[in-house]
Amino acid sequence: MMRLVLASASERRQNLLHRLTDNFEIIVSNFNEDKIAFKGDCGNYVMELAKGKAMEVANRLNTDAVVIGSDTIVSFKNNVLGKPKNELDAFNMLKLLSGDTHQVYSGIALVDKVSKNIKIDYVCTNVKFSTITDEQIKKYIDTGEPMDKAGAYGIQGFGGVFVEEIHGCYYNVVGLSLNKLNCMFKEMGVNL
């Protein structure tokens, strides 16, 4: 059985990966995301971030393994919304998303230490928010949920109440497209 390593501290990604396999370990990546500059293409950006995370962990390993790296961003009118710096930042992000459609991009990278094979891809999902009031935004921020999430919301938590509709992969919005990852495993010959 191939050793699988998830290069992420994200509990959401860990929980999602458990839907495909329980046979993996977690080694958190120390990759400096600031090394990758956003050049206007969200898909390329998340793929580069995911690859950087996976490569950083793969380079530390001295045994055979397939390392999974992933990164998720929210894009509104081609502006990247990362994790909020503080409550005001979270408020401004949610205010921006209110009553409009944004995109969620997740990059996935698989790095095979043995074959040196690297597979990288991304998924984009369109998410439409209903119009939300300042009071609703403040109440949501008080839950603490927005603070560690790209775009300042979690679709799988309290933030899901703002989502009017989605077009694309739900799990991508949570942080890891199970369908895309499963297809990439098959393409790489990883049998779960």
pLDDT in tens, the chain (192 residues): 689 999 999 999 999 999 999 999 999 999 999 999 999 999 999 999 999 999 999 999 988 999 999 999 999 998 999 889 999 999 999 999 999 999 999 999 999 998 889 999 999 999 999 999 999 999 999 999 999 899 999 999 999 999 999 999 999 999 999 999 999 999 999 888
Q: What is the pLDDT of residue 40?
A: 93
Pick the CATH number of 4-188 from 3.40.1010.20, 3.40.605.10, 3.30.300.20, 3.90.950.10: 3.90.950.10
Q: How many CB atoms lie within 10 A of CB 69?
A: 28
CA 125 to chain centre: 12
- Backbone phi, then psi, for 139, in 5-degree steps? -65, -40
Sorted by where each begins, the domain ranges of the chain are 4-188
CA 9 to chain centre: 11
Q: What is the pLDDT of residue 191?
A: 84
Distance, in Å, from the CA atom of 188 to the CA atom of 170, rounded to the nearest integer, reads 24
What's the predicted TM-score (pTM) here?
A: 0.93
C-alpha dihedral sign at 37, 170, 127, 145: negative
Distance, in Å, from the CA atom of 157 to the CA atom of 177, rounded to the nearest integer, reads 17
Catalytic status, residue 89: no
- Which residue in the list 22, 34, 64, 71 is annotated as catalytic? 71
Helices 87-97, 134-142: crossing angle, 10 deg rounding = 140
The one-letter code for the residue type at 85 is K
